[in-house]
Structure 1
Amino acid sequence: MPEIFVVRHGQASFGSDNYDQLSELGWQQARWLGEHWAEDGLQFDHIVSGDLQRHRETAQGICEGLGLASHSVEELPQLNEFDFKQVMSAYREKNPQAAPSANAERADYYRFLKKAMHAWSAGEISAAESWQQFEQRIEEIVGVLAAGARGGKTLVVSSGGAIAMMVRQVLGAPSSSVTQLNMQIKNTAVSHFFAGRSGVSLHSFNHLPHLDNRERRQFITYS
């Protein structure tokens, strides 16, 4: 049966001028995942990613860990994250009193993002990409991935919001679950899907086989 392994990108550069690039730890997380799969003898028939820098770099790091530094990675922009900065900006304009200060804790930032996502999904604020358009492109790319798997194993690198939407759609969960799932997905966590004749099913979610141990648990991150 075709299998799809969807990985959230490694730790990005939160708080820097360019969030989109991986941190040093983000690179290491990606390599560790590739090394873990190499040790298990797991091989992929297709490797695809979004076209954001953090997606490209995560795919590169995984390939290095797998010993596939020169492997071709197909870039599909449909796998990109929604524009969370734009969503937050729209929510800030409508609710300036709720915006975190410049020196706020990271937790305050994520609480604000959670509120902004709920408002976006409810149609209370608008962005260049509507919630409905976001839903549609993720539904379409899941169909493309399932059709293209052709009995093999496909590795996908994407972002937390896009992965959360995939899970919601596969499970038939309410729209509100996307925000909750998004906040849980860890960097380089793996969500494993099967694609059969009856559709796509979820086998496991947010799994960290390369980090969830005593030696590496300290390197688990969420941003």
Structure 2
Amino acid sequence: MPELFLVRHGQASFGAKNYDKLSPLGHQQSLWLGQYFTERQCHFSQVFTGTLVRHQETAAGILQGLDEAPEPKIDARFNEFDFATIGQAYLNLYPTETLAASASPSEFYRLLKKAMLAWSQNQLNPDDVSESWQDFKTRTSGAIECIKSQQAEGPVLAVSSGGAIAMMMSVILGLDAVQVIELNMQIRNTSFSHLYFNQHNIRLSSFNNVPHLDTLERLPSITFS
């Protein structure tokens, strides 16, 4: 069966005015991953990314580390959900939970978990969100179907985001919303999940791998944003 390497983007610019771009470390993580794939003699037959800048910059870094690779195909079905809109929709209901500008990343992620849970339970005002939880699941299911339909002659690489990857796992493994939210918080930057697929099935082999960062000197480079 053909292989799929489903990669979360490199570290983005958390706390900056524009989150949707890689940090210097994010670029380095992506290059290291590409070099790892080259060392493993992994020759990709197809490459997919979402439309987000952090996806395409990650793919570019990976491809820079490869000996050769095809031109990426851009597909919005691999995009992340709009977490800023989801968070604001939650705060519209619970304004007392608004965070201070100096809030830590851990405080932000606790708030995001609450917002995602409310979103998954259809508690948010539909007029305040760009897509429903079910719409998001349907969209990412479409990304899976896109992969399954490929007549791949070699491994396929896809670059996406933590929430989208977690939702894909829910479709593949039959997970509930709480499990999706927990997985979303665990997915590391430039980690890959390894799967096998054909036109009928897609099977998970391993999840959230960072072998390119699993050395003593690179352990500080393992990030979650």
Distance 2:70 2:224 in 1: 27
5+ residue gaps, structure 2, are none
Asked if 1:97 corresponds to 2:96, the answer is yes
The one-letter amino acid of 2:88's match is: S
Partner of 1:159: 161
Match of 2:213, SS state, is coil
After superposition, the Cα gap between the structure-2 partners of 1:172 and 1:51, relative to the gap in structure 1 and judged at 3 Å, is same
Distance 1:2 1:147 in 2: 11
Distance 1:141 1:198 in 2: 14
Partner of 1:213: 215
CA contact (8 A) 2:46 2:70 kept: no
After TM superposition, where is structure 1 displaced by more than 4 Å over at least 4 residues in a row?
A: none
CA contact (8 A) 1:160 1:185 kept: yes
CA contact (8 A) 1:20 1:53 kept: yes
Match of 1:167, SS state, is helix
Distance 1:100 1:151 in 2: 49
Distance 1:48 1:219 in 2: 25
Distance 1:59 1:98 in 2: 36
Percent of counterpart pairs with the same letter?
Answer: 45
Distance 1:186 1:88 in 2: 21
TM-score (norm 1): 0.96
Deviates more, 1:84-93 or 1:208-217: 208-217
Partner of 2:85: 86
TM-score (norm 2): 0.95
Q: Over the residues paired in the alignment, what is the CA RMSD in angstroms?
A: 1.2
Distance 1:76 1:196 in 2: 20
Match of 2:150, SS state, is helix
Partner of 1:44: 44
CA contact (8 A) 2:80 2:164 kept: yes
Distance 1:90 1:188 in 2: 29
CA contact (8 A) 1:51 1:75 kept: yes
Partner of 1:114: 113
What is the deviation of 1:150?
A: 3.2
Alignment map for 1:17-36 (pairs within 5 Å): 17-36=17-36
Distance 2:131 2:49 in 1: 20
